Structure 1
């Protein structure tokens, strides 16, 4: 458990309003894309092509947001900064949870929902042999490939146009021609030594099923590295009823629709723990909770699959 103390009352109240700024920014990009479609003569696009409109709007928003966060990191934002301790100010808020975890990644790595690749600078360890980035938002792929090139990871990093579900992920892996899934297809021995879930399980469809499938793709002894915002544990001493109410309000007013299917109210920790039930549980689970006073409380840590 995290021992971090809540900030003063005024800062807690301001923190509860922080998601509204992100939502307003996302809505503005959505409206721009709708207007542009209408100007192109696609008058009904906002009604008949909602998936396309949402994908393009979210891609633009996320690129702009990631760039802004890289320049000025802020507490508890749902995307990490690319500034490292040696390059700029010390990371604060949820961004500080990520580097210690990702720097332990090794072997064959699956990076779920890497977005624009803002965490890629943490994956340059020689212990990593290859990285597969499963990013369903095609509009982010150019930024992701550019980031891989900038970090010298072009040869290691494979961009996949899919989500985390096995029905999408396995065909995408086979299409790379690397033979990475051959052993798994033959004897279900697993594929990855490390799987990264950083601010992504909030938006995957069918989270319970997805976490079980990710567990199955881990090799024996494989590690799942997690930093995720979750439903506020308001019934516990660490939680906040006010923050839980704020989550419900944001969801009611369209947070999920405008923020890439993100859900504020998922019991991600419970789903992760249950993912290994078929094998009698994980070898070890080391998860900490942080920011229980906020609308974006986090869990972070490592889950290790049994070797036998």
Structure 2
């Protein structure tokens, strides 16, 4: 299959550019914390990374959204319904797609965002999208939904994961824990980073090398996870419609899978 326009070897350099963006916000984060006397944040590596990523994402999030929009909009707009579980929504950059005018069947959305640095912007974007009354932020990890989150099995109509399974802890386990929350006939909408399918090619080794540094600069994001394989193994699916990211090929170091999975009734 021929490579699409713009998908040549130069695409191998794209993750280096993205890491430069992240590096730029490191000294800015240190300066912000010092000026505001938030010295306690320096005592925790995880807290500092959360603050660093929150400041990076406030700038880069909208740009990332614009780049991903052609793929994500058809997936999310008008497809969510009932009680929704929005995993790792960050600052809520996609919430405008869940506006009631486009998704009249949505009854409730639980936004599962463990990074407290994102909560203010997430709440503001929920209100801006007209979802203030039905959007509830749960500040725990996806692995804690049945304990701290209080969610029950077979209670969710739609699970939404957009570029978040790459950064949560123990994703294979969490995917298996999320599956029982989904009602029979419920759907999982997914757009995620995955390990390259071009095994034994140069990009496989390049992706491995990039991934040594990448997680430290993007708050734990791991671009080497076979998330699509884990989703398929999570349970019994009635219908699976997953495909590679549009225009992505053997020179993409940060490839995606996109589509839907429907739980067997």
Superposition TM-score, scaled by structure 1 size: 0.77
Distance of 2:182 and 2:40 partners within structure 1: 44
Q: Equivalences for 1:1-308 in 2 at 5 Å?
A: 5-8=2-5, 11-37=7-33, 46=42, 48-67=43-62, 69=63, 79-81=64-66, 94-103=68-77, 104-124=79-99, 125-165=103-143, 168-174=144-150, 181=151, 184=152, 188=153, 190-235=154-199, 241-252=201-212, 254-276=213-235, 281-290=236-245, 291-293=248-250, 294-307=252-265
Cα distance, 1:261 vs. partner?
A: 0.4
Q: Give the ranges of 4+ consecutive aligned residues of structure 1 lying more than 4 Å apart after TM superposition.
A: 35-46
Structure 1 distance, partners of 2:33, 2:129, is 35
SS at 1:114's partner residue?
coil
Whether contact under 8 Å (1:161, 1:172) holds in the other structure is no
Whether contact under 8 Å (1:108, 1:130) holds in the other structure is: yes
* SS in structure 1 at match of 2:16: helix
Alpha-carbon spacing, 1:33–1:300, altered in 2? closer, same or farther (3 Å): same
User: Do the aligned residues in 1 keep the contact of 2:84 with 2:106 (CA within 8 Å)?
Assistant: yes
SS at structure 1 position matched to 2:206: helix
Q: CA deviation at 1:44?
A: 9.4
1:282 Cα offset (Å): 1.2
Number of residue pairs the alignment of both structures matches: 258
Residue by residue, what CA displacement relative to the aligned partner does 1:67-121 show, whole Å, maximum 9, x if unpaired? 3x1xxxxxxxxx423xxxxxxxxxx6x4322111112111100000111111111
How far apart, in 2, do the equivalents of 1:99 and 1:36 lie? Answer: 34
Q: Secondary structure at the match of 2:145?
A: helix
Q: For the residues of structure 1 that align with 2:172 and 2:192, how far apart are their CA atoms?
A: 15
Instruction: Indicate the structure (1 or 2) with the bigger Cα radius of gyration.
Output: 1
Residue segments in structure 1 that go unaligned for 5+ positions in a row: 70-78, 82-91, 175-180
State the alpha-carbon separation in 1 of the partners of residues 197 and 73 from structure 2.
Answer: 25
Deviation at 1:43, TM superposition (A): 7.9
- Could you state the TM-score of these two structures normalised by the residue count of structure 2? 0.89
Ranges in structure 2 where 5+ consecutive residues have no aligned partner: none
Change (3 A) 1:248 1:170: same
SS in 1 for 2:65: coil
Secondary structure of the 1:283 match is strand
C-alpha displacement of 1:193: 0.2
How far does the alpha carbon of each residue in 1:222-246 deviate from its partner, in whole angstroms, 9 at most, with x for none?
11111111111113xxxx8232232
